[in-house]
Amino acid sequence: MRSAVPGSTLTTEPVGEIAITDGNGHFLFGVADGSYTLEQTDPTLAPICPAVQPVPFTVSGDQQTIDLANGSTVPVDLPSISPACIQTWVPNILRRIRPQPLAADKRAVGTHRAIGPDLDLPRCECGTDLRCRSDTHLGPVGLGEFRDADPIDVQVPVGTPLGLVLYTTAGLSNPLAESTLLNNTADEQNIVVGSYDPNDKRAVTSTRASEDLYYIDQDQWIDYTIRFQNTGTFPAEFVVITDTIAPELDMLSFEQGAASHPFSVSFKPGRVIEWRFDDIQLPDSASNEPGSHGLVKFRMRPKLPLLPGTVIENTANIYFDFNPPVITEPSALVAEFSTGVGTHSSEAMLISPNPTTTGFHVSLSGQRTAQLGLRDLHGRVVRVVSVPNERIWVDTAGLASGTYIVEAMSTSGSTFRSVVHIINP
């Protein structure tokens, strides 16, 4: 089956299967013999041939090919999807500087080709404020096409303090008129850290207000970044990442973002998204530490209505060649409103250590705690803790490993929520 638009989602009924077109606009459904319908879900696409959707088709012991031709309901648009910083790390043991590859991408959506867009990427010049700029010209961009800029090596000085937030901004310019210019820039925040797990999954909401809370009345998207590193002793010929998408997320809202290496993406049964980095030849960290890293980014919208207290949790599986998967720690966001009771940022609730194996301390910044409870992801209260003073210890003995919601009410009546990851040995 073929479509003119890459990265577009389609549905087949009555089986309810969802597919995404590859870089050439091809898609594939595996179904049993029977009668079905096929429909594109992108509201910006106007069916031309066939002119009416859903498109009926029948499978009877042979492969059926369906070609879709589309126009566009919107003028040309060239959005910038968040720049991808592989990592921000200051070595505090080896005392050396590591180059940091950066990447970004852009996509044209419309009936015309976007000619000659320019992409700005940051390049650190080792100034104390780490401000810098780099310009890249990538040439014509086709309808629905993703284009990655060549990675740029940047250096974070060894003296950069841990905890410093670095801002990366990608901006696009296009000589053609666009439907909107509001999406021509994208930014990302990265915190300078010391040692860290090189394989992880990070979730950031569209307002960038929190990495723990999704503000129902302000946020629209969740941007995910899956990072991986080959810490073995030989280059990895291929890397496969699978992610079972949480039921609270809308599969049809999936948008592919930047990646560190060429890849293919597909939807699998059971709400699984698979990224394949074939022939990546990813060096091992011992022979080429900077080159041993990689990442992939994507974004999705939650299903509506989204109730306060809902936890959106995802975990990625990373396969290096034929080895067992490396399973990331869960990325979890708690849905909340940004105004009124129960909307305080989780930054005001201090939890340490997190993740934990035996228990954790809880304190509210500048406030006294009146009540404290712990809920599992099904909403059940699994622990209630007395509040003897401002800093509280929560014993996790007997609790299963997983992600839990910490709820605290201050003496002033304000409610705070955050998440804690419990790992029982």
What amino acid is encoded at 375 in this protein?
R
Is residue 265 very low, low, confident or very high in pLDDT (cuts 50, 70, 90)? very high
Average pLDDT over residues 139-168: 63
Average pLDDT over residues 328-343: 71
Which of the pair, 117 or 217, is modelled with greater confidence? 217
CA separation for the pair 385, 374 (Å, rounded): 8
The string of pLDDT tens digits covering residues 278-306 is 999 999 988 998 889 999 999 999 998 88
The string of pLDDT tens digits covering residues 35-92 is 999 998 887 778 888 888 899 989 888 778 888 888 777 666 666 655 544 344 433 3
User: Picking from 126-135, 166-175, 385-394, which range would have the lowest pLDDT averaged per residue?
Assistant: 126-135
pLDDT of the residue at 159: 63
CA separation for the pair 256, 297 (Å, rounded): 7
% of the chain residues with pLDDT over 70:
68
Is residue 364 very low, low, confident or very high in pLDDT (cuts 50, 70, 90)? confident
DSSP 397: T
Which of the pair, 264 or 375, is modelled with greater confidence? 264
DSSP string for residues in 12-80: EETTTEEEE--TTSB------SEEEEEEE--TTEEEEESSSSSEEEEESSS----EEEEEESS--B-PE
Query: What's the whole-number average pLDDT of the chain?
Result: 75
Sheet with strand 331-336: strands edge to edge: 213-215, 331-336, 311-314
Average pLDDT over residues 238-243: 96
pLDDT at position 309 over 80: yes
For the beta carbon of residue 241, count every other beta carbon within 10 angstroms: 26
pLDDT of the residue at 354: 82
State both tokens at 368.
Answer: 């006294």
Domains along the chain with CATH numbers: 2-72 (2.60.40.1120), 74-196 (2.60.40.10), 199-334 (2.60.40.740), 340-422 (2.60.40.10)
CA atoms within 13 A on the CB side of 338: 11
pLDDT of the residue at 69: 84
Residues 6+ apart with CB under 8 A from 68: 1, 2, 3, 4, 40, 47, 49, 50, 55
Average pLDDT over residues 311-321: 93
pLDDT of the residue at 341: 38
Is residue 241 very low, low, confident or very high in pLDDT (cuts 50, 70, 90)? very high
pLDDT of the residue at 409: 78
State both tokens at 213.
Answer: 């809370």
pLDDT of the residue at 320: 95
Max mean pLDDT among 57-71, 112-126, 199-213, 302-316 falls in 302-316
Q: How far is CA 379 from CA 94, 288, 358, in A?
A: 45, 46, 22
Is this prediction's pTM over 0.75? no
Torsion of CA 220, 136, 274, 5, to 10 degrees: 80
pLDDT at position 1 over 90: no
Average pLDDT over residues 210-219: 81
pLDDT at position 112 over 60: no
pLDDT of the residue at 324: 92
Taking alpha carbons only, the member of 167, 137, 140 closest to residue 149 is 137
Average pLDDT over residues 359-368: 80
Taking alpha carbons only, the member of 17, 27, 5 closest to residue 264 is 27
Is residue 21 very low, low, confident or very high in pLDDT (cuts 50, 70, 90)? confident
